[in-house]
């Protein structure tokens, strides 16, 4: 059964791979599961057909036979549970890898997304410059703790897992800010993940959509 | 094996039950698993012994034999996977219930927490009043979509699940804002969950810690 995911028909970040379909593409590539993509526009993702699959009108959906899922964390976990390669076999190690998925999504990513909100939704406000500094402090608090925990390990807990996949994708959004460079082991962690063949295939696949929409 | 969780020795919300230990207490009560609590202060949660369990120095940890977990979502999911009562048996329904956990934590809760950040961390700033309105708009966008999806159902997808538990706990933080009252089916959804005996036992347990710290 070939799953179908959704992705933007025209990349909002000009092919940088920051949209959440990248997480699902990467997970599917890691486990060797082929997939199909339904392209969606900013308009059509607000329409009933898409909202039936994603009640919040966000970009990401996943269909596999009768199953319809939304939320990048839930989709990546579903893939990781049904295929080898993204979660350890040991039960405790598996729970810990899943804890890193939640940490990526709930503890590390929120201040990083706040930075995007402050720039893109409130960029014209008089408070933006001062607030950006506050948000950067909150981000650095998380990065510091993450950097200490990672130490000189390759991955967060043993072998590469779905937890690393989610964490790396959350951190990638920081590249333009320069904040990642203040934590050399985190910058290296992200670079190391980007060398994975599955990441490269997923990145190329999302970039191809952008290139096609540009040339069309 | 009796798990050990951590909780604040002195309730930061005067016993309203908004701290994240409430999610874990509630999940453990739903599945009938006894537990022990190690009380932690704002100071001691930043120290190495606690950080070894929670790398970000946040309140919540869960220990069960050799296993140490952090992140409320990961802990509730771990409990739900090892006991009956919080996830459906059907594999697809199970994945959908987990999707609601992620939706609660990543789509609905972030703007709700932004409201707390704006009040408590930036309450003295000149921009606070104007920003609170922007944040309330973002919250209402999520509440609207959630309200439409819930409709007149009791729970988000069939029987009560870990997805409802996480969603209800995220929504409870909105009570003082009055926003929940604009969506009567959501207010009813929260009230209905609060009638569950497991919720009441968990709420009483966290309140007892606060009462003890007040009288001591």
Write the DSSP symbol of residue B6.
E
Considering the entire predicted model, what is its pTM?
Answer: 0.97
Which of B66, B68, B107 shows the shortest C-beta gap to A71? Answer: B107
Answer for the pair A30, A198: CB distance below 8 angstroms, yes or no.
yes
Each of the 216 residues of chain B gets a pLDDT tens digit; together they read 899 999 999 888 888 999 999 999 999 999 999 999 999 999 999 999 999 999 999 999 999 999 999 999 999 999 999 999 999 999 999 999 999 999 999 999 999 999 988 888 888 888 888 999 999 999 999 999 999 999 999 999 999 999 999 999 999 999 989 999 999 999 999 999 999 999 999 999 999 998 888 776
Distance from CA of A180 to the nearest CA of B (A): 17
Q: Locate the chain B residue with the closest alpha carbon to A147.
A: B55
Return the ∠ at Cα B105 (arms to B101 and B110), rounded to 5°.
155
Return the ∠ at Cα A72 (arms to A70 and A76), rounded to 5°.
105
Answer for the pair A22, A169: CB distance below 8 angstroms, yes or no.
yes
Q: What is the CA radius of gyration of chain B?
A: 17
Quote the CA–CA distance of A163 and B136 in Å, as a whole number: 31
Q: Tell me whether residues A131 and B126 touch, CB distance under 8 A.
A: no
Q: What is the dihedral of CA A96, A102, A108, A110, to 10 degrees?
A: -170
Q: What is the CA radius of gyration of chain A?
A: 17
Rounded to an integer, the average pLDDT of A186-194 is 98
Question: Is B105 at the interface with chain A, CB within 8 A?
Answer: yes
Partner B, chain A 62-101, Cβ-Cβ below 8 Å: 66-75, 77-78, 92, 95-96, 98-99, 101
Q: Tell me whether residues A71 and B103 touch, CB distance under 8 A.
A: yes
- The residue with tokens 């029987």 is B159
Residue A69 is inside which H or E element, if any? strand A67-69
ipTM of the complex: 0.96
Q: Domains of chain A by range and CATH?
A: 4-85+198-215 (3.40.30.10), 91-196 (1.20.1050.10)
Answer for the pair B179, B170: CB distance below 8 angstroms, yes or no.
no
With left for phi above 0 and alpha for psi between -120 and 50, is residue B167 left, alpha or beta?
alpha
Q: Tell me whether residues A56 and B122 touch, CB distance under 8 A.
A: no
Structure tokens at A29: 């590539």
Chain A to chain B, count of Cβ pairs less than 8 Å apart?
A: 115
Q: Which of B109, B41, B97, B125 is nearest to B71 (CA)?
A: B109
Q: Tell me whether residues B70 and A103 touch, CB distance under 8 A.
A: yes
Answer for the pair A103, A168: CB distance below 8 angstroms, yes or no.
no
Q: Locate the chain A residue with the closest alpha carbon to B73.
A: A102
pLDDT in tens, B103-159: 999 999 999 999 988 888 888 888 888 999 999 999 999 999 999 999 999 999 999
Distance from CA of A95 to the nearest CA of B (A): 7
Give the count of beta carbons closer than 10 Å to the beta carbon of residue B152.
6
Q: Locate the chain A residue with the closest alpha carbon to B156.
A: A55
Contacts of B38 (CB under 8 A, 6+ apart): B4, B5, B6, B7
Strand order through the sheet with B36-40 = B36-40, B4-8, B62-64, B67-69
Question: Is A133 at the interface with chain B, CB within 8 A?
Answer: no
Q: Locate the chain B residue with the closest alpha carbon to A72.
A: B102
Q: Tell me whether residues B103 and A51 touch, CB distance under 8 A.
A: no
Tell the burial category of B125 from Cβ atoms under 10 Å away from its Cβ (0-12, 13-18, 19+).
middle
Residues of B in contact with A66 (CB under 8 A): 92
């Amino acid at each position: 059964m070939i799953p179908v995911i959704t992705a933007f028909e025209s990349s909002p970040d000009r092919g940088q791979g920051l949209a959440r379909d990248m997480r699902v593409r990467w997970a599917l590539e890691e486990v060797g599961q082929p997939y199909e993509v339904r392209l969606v526009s900013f308009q059509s993702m607000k329409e009933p057909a898409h909202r039936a699959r994603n009640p919040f009108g966000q970009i990401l959906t996943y269909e596999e036979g009768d199953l319809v899922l939304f939320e990048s964390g839930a989709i990546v976990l579903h893939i990781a549970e049904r295929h080898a390669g993204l979660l350890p076999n040991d039960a405790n190690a598996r729970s810990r890898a899943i804890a890193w998925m939640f940490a990526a999504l709930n503890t590390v990513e929120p201040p990083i997304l706040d930075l995007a909100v402050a720039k893109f939704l409130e960029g014209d406000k008089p408070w933006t410059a001062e607030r950006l500094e506050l948000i950067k402090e909150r981000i650095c608090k998380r990065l510091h703790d993450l950097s200490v925990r990672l130490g000189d390990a390759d991955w967060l807990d043993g072998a590469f897992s779905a937890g690393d996949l989610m964490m790396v994708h959350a951190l990638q959004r920081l590249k333009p800010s320069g904040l990642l460079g203040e934590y050399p082991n985190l910058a290296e962690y992200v670079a190391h993940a980007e060398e994975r063949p599955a990441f490269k295939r997923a990145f190329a696949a999302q970039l191809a959509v952008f290139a096609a929409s540009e040339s069309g």
